[in-house]
Amino acid sequence: MELLWEIAGWTGAALILSAYLSVSMGWLKAGRRFQIANLIGACTFIANGALHEAWPSVVTNIAWFLISAVALLRMRSQNAPLAVDEEPQLQFPGVPDTTGQIAVVEAVTAAVHGDVEGRAAACQASLRETHAAGPVRA
């Protein structure tokens, strides 16, 4: 029976560490899968720690469990669609995701410069006129 609790403890360690690694490397978003892995890992650590009377570990993992449980309940109450964090990601390790930053830059550019598409078209037309007139001679 003790072997079962040891296996549970090592399984919990593998779950928590692989979830943390996956989120840190950008392979997984910190969504439902991440929280479920943390929740299950914490449960197995609680059982293993109680068996070995490692009370600081038990208390820490009870907190870890509660954090994951509350996060999952909040996700559920917000009615977030399951497909959001179930989609495969094309994020490569070590390459930052700049999607949000690009959206911010576009929003700021539009706010500062107004009609960005109109200005771009005017700029391209001006370039065409300059090239059509030929080289400038001094």
Q: pLDDT per residue over 66-122, tens digit each?
A: 999 999 999 888 865 554 455 555 555 665 565 555 555 565 566 666 666 676 677
Q: Which residues contact 57 (CB under 8 A, 6 or more apart)?
A: 45, 49
Q: Which tokens in the block code for residue 24? A: 């840190």
Give, for 128, the enclosing helix (H) or strand (E).
helix 116-133
**Rounded Cα gap, residues 50 and 65, in angstroms:** 15
pTM of the model: 0.54
User: In this predicted structure, which of 26-30, 34-38, 98-102, 110-114 has the lowest mean pLDDT?
Assistant: 98-102
What does the pLDDT read at residue 125?
Answer: 78
